[in-house]
A = this chain, B = another copy of it.
Amino acid sequence: MRLDDGLVVMSDTRTNAGVDNISTYRKLHVFRPAADRIFVLQSAGNLATTQEVLDRLSHDLRAPGGAESLATVDEMYEAALYVGRVSRTVVGEHRDGLMSSGADGTATFILSGQITGAAPDIMLIYPEGNYIRASDDRPFLQIGESKYGKFMLDVGVRAHANLAVAAKLALASMMSTARANLSVGPPYDLAVYRNDALDLEEFRITADSVILERLLELWEKHILAALHELPAVSDLDALVGTSGADGKSGHEFGK
């Protein structure tokens, strides 16, 4: 999420190669390649590809003589293009092996961060190597299993949440996804970046955290409270007519 005060990013840690092969890997990685910049790279997709991409990014940072790296790029979009190229290179080098087993070796990334002199930004990097920014109307990006938790993020960013609320919102969105889909699960890694800080706070929320239990309780309570406040569907004084199509009795509600 890109917010007025900064950035909030969250990743789960579950990976799977089928339901009988589930593991826990970190998918949120922080790079501090130089004093004037900080990056968070989140990944979804093929685990081997994301690990090799991370290894190559680190290798490039250690390489002598100013080879292109996260330390040398001048702008966020150049960093995104660089990560995209590394990602394509990794997949390209394993294409023959992957094709022979029918595996999809691609990975998708979200690059967040700031380079001094420009505003913080978040960018989604496609397996094809190109990127998009978050829109100003819906200033968040999702990769991986993005459907279940989208509505909650949508509601949150509309309300111009501050960083503390946004962190809780990210957790709520993640929890609603995890409850609906086995391929998403705790621990959850959270990083909160305040504009121009060039440093960030990191948290890991484990499965037995009291905050997750409390969140689920609050969620049930407030969903039911909202439904309680809503007028009954059959009670609307906005009843505008009855529809008798196909001989059925019915009520049609409008403005």
Contact = CB atoms under 8 A, between A and B. Distances in A.
A85 interface: no
A103 interface: no
Contact of A222 (B161, B222, B243, B248): B222
Given A30-B248, A151-B180, A225-B222, A168 B230 contact: yes
B223 A222 contact: yes
A215 B252 CA distance: 17
A168 to B, nearest CB: 5
Given A151-B148, A154-B179, A230-B215, A236 B210 contact: yes
Interface in A220-255: 220-234, 236, 238, 243, 245-246, 248-255
Given A209-B253, A218-B229, A234 B203 contact: yes
A129 to B, nearest CB: 26
A156 interface: yes
A190 B248 CA distance: 13
A249 B202 contact: yes
A161 B203 CA distance: 36
Interface string A199-215: 00111111011110011
A253 B203 contact: yes
A254 B186 CA distance: 11
Contacts of A219: 155, 226
A250 B204 contact: yes
A165 B151 CA distance: 21
Interface stretch (A62-70, A71-79, A105-113, A169-177): A169-177
Interface of A: 26, 29-30, 147-148, 150-152, 154-156, 158-159, 161, 164-165, 167-169, 171-172, 176-177, 179-181, 187, 190, 192, 201-206, 208-211, 214-215, 218-234, 236, 238, 243, 245-246, 248-255
